[in-house]
């Protein structure tokens, strides 16, 4: 399964990446799985640890951790939004 992952705002700066393309192991089924998978990279990636206030979107729609991740999805991680 190949997906695109985007990072925004403070998270983008912390990680040093604005986007990456990943081929995921079959064990990753949900958004929550993906987030844990990325956090396990350690170092700056601990910014994605479960306790951190990070929001996510699948294909440009806000999504909760139990949402399934599918091949060619566009996933995004970002801090709580502050528009308006």
Partner 1 sequence: MRVSVQEADFDVGAETEALAAGRPEVGAVASFVGYVRADKLAGESAADQAVSAMTLEHYPGMTEKSLEAIVAEAESRWSLLGVRVIHRFGRLVPGDRIVFVGVAGSHRGEAFAACEFIMDYLKTRAPFWKKEDTPEGGRWVDAREADDAAAEKWGQA
Query: Shortest gap between Cβ of 30 and partner 1 (angstroms)?
Result: 20
Residues 6 or more apart in contact with residue 9 via CB below 8 angstroms: 78, 79
Span interacting with partner 1, options 20-28, 29-37, 39-47, 72-80, rule CB under 8 A = 72-80
> Of 81, 83, 79, whose CA–CA distance to 7 is shortest?
79
Which span (19-27, 29-37, 42-50, 55-63) binds partner 1, by CB under 8 A? 55-63
What's the token pair of residue 21?
Answer: 């393309």
Residues that bind partner 1 (CB under 8 A): 6, 8-10, 57, 60-62, 76, 78-84
């Amino acid at each position: 399964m190949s997906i695109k992952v985007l990072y925004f705002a403070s998270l983008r700066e912390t990680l040093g990446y604005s986007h990456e393309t990943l081929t995921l192991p079959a064990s990753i089924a949900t958004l929550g799985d993906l987030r844990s998978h990325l956090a396990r990279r350690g170092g700056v990636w601990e910014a994605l640890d479960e306790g951190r206030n990070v929001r996510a979107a699948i294909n440009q729609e806000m999504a909760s951790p139990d949402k399934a991740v599918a091949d060619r999805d566009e996933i995004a991680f970002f801090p709580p939004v502050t528009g308006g």
